[in-house]
Amino acid sequence: CHDLSGLDLWDSLIRIAQSGNDANGEIVAQAVSCCSKALLWNLARIGEADVDKEEDDENVKFESLHERRTQLAAFFKLVIYNLIPIRAAAPIYKYYIRSFNDFGDIMKSTLAKAREINRVHTARMIAHCLELCYLQVESASNNCVERGSEGLQAVKELARHDVAEHSSDLANAIECNAVRYTKIFAEVIDDLLPDFRTVDLVPQDVLDIFIDHRIRMEQRIRAADAETAPRAVSRDPEPVNMAEVRSRFPPELLRRL
């Protein structure tokens, strides 16, 4: 079946198909058959157009990626030749893990070259990059970063990846030390807390505790004012730390339940 859509026969075929009894039945049948074939060719052409469009989209994406890689390489070349301070590369390295498939080779080679030139400045740039990442996570979570949040895990992964660039053993040692010091701090805080009381305590409502605490605070403030009044007359005042007086919490709020 040949494609005759380029001959612009559609109007003539429609006129013959609509002629009815005025034309030979065989001619009308051939005209209807040609119309159906023309529809099939148009559908095939639409499908080919979609394939060509997808190929064009892939080519556009590839060209766009190539252009961005070229621009990124040019920027890092300015950093390597010290025309731009290395600190300016910190906002870009925030996306090192996320964009590793597209730009990871350029970033990795630039980081290695920067370490050869000046390891101290490179380490400061990475530290600034981690700081920017954490501030971004903190801002996104309304200054309340959860320990297991996805953003914080991404920051840890970036820091771990940077350490692993130096040595995998160093990364394992840092992780073990972090666990060790966390355990030490937890034990110290546990020792500072009051001892666990096994005696039965009368359950109190939180509001009752705060009301009682408020009354005690007012009594202490009045007692402190009474102590300072005679000394003010004798012109030999001794300052009273009112913040210390106000910060004395009752043991009910400090005990372990």
Q: What would the pLDDT profile of 22-75 be if each residue is shown by its tens digit?
A: 666 676 676 667 666 666 666 666 555 555 555 667 788 888 888 888 888 888
Query: Percent of the chain at pLDDT above 90?
Result: 0
Mean pLDDT of the chain: 72
Beta-carbon-side half-sphere exposure of residue 213 (alpha carbons within 13 Å) = 17
Query: Is residue 100 domain-shared with residue 179, that is, in the same domain?
Result: yes
Distance CA 222, CA 25 (A): 117
- 3-class secondary structure, 97: coil
Residue 162 lies in a domain: yes
> Domain residues for 101?
85-192
Residue 215 lies in a domain: yes
Q: Which residues of 153-187 are buried (b: 16+ CB within 10 A; e: fewer)?
A: ebbeebbeebbeeeeeeebeeeeeeeeeeeeeeee
Residue 126 lies in a domain: yes
pLDDT at 106 over 80: yes
Structure-token match 């350490």, residue found: 163
Q: How many domains does the chain have?
A: 3
Chain centroid to Cα 74, Å, comes to 27
Distance CA 61, CA 112 (A): 29
Q: Can you give the pLDDT at residue 39?
A: 66
Contact 57, 75 (CB under 8 A): no
Residue 69 lies in a domain: no
96 C-beta neighbours (distance < 10 Å), count: 20
Residue 238 lies in a domain: yes
Residue type, 63: E
Beta-carbon-side half-sphere exposure of residue 131 (alpha carbons within 13 Å) = 8
Q: Which residue has the higher pLDDT, 244 or 72?
A: 72
Residues in the chain: 257
Share of the chain residues as helix, strand and coil, in percent rounded to the nearest 5: 75, 0, 25
Query: Is residue 39 domain-shared with residue 90, that is, in the same domain?
Result: no
Query: Is residue 148 domain-shared with residue 211, that is, in the same domain?
Result: no
pLDDT digits (tens, 9 = 90+) for 142-159: 777 777 777 777 887 787
Query: Is residue 156 domain-shared with residue 239, that is, in the same domain?
Result: no
User: Which stretches within 118-241 are classed as H helix?
Assistant: 119-140, 150-166, 168-192, 206-233
Residue 67 lies in a domain: no
DSSP state of 197: P
Contact 128, 90 (CB under 8 A): yes
Candidate ranges 46-55, 127-136, 180-189, 232-241; pick with highest mean pLDDT: 127-136
Residue type, 15: R
Last residue of a domain, one of 192, 215, 239: 192
3-state secondary structure 4-35: CHHHCCHHHHHHHHCCHHHCCHHHHHHHHHHH
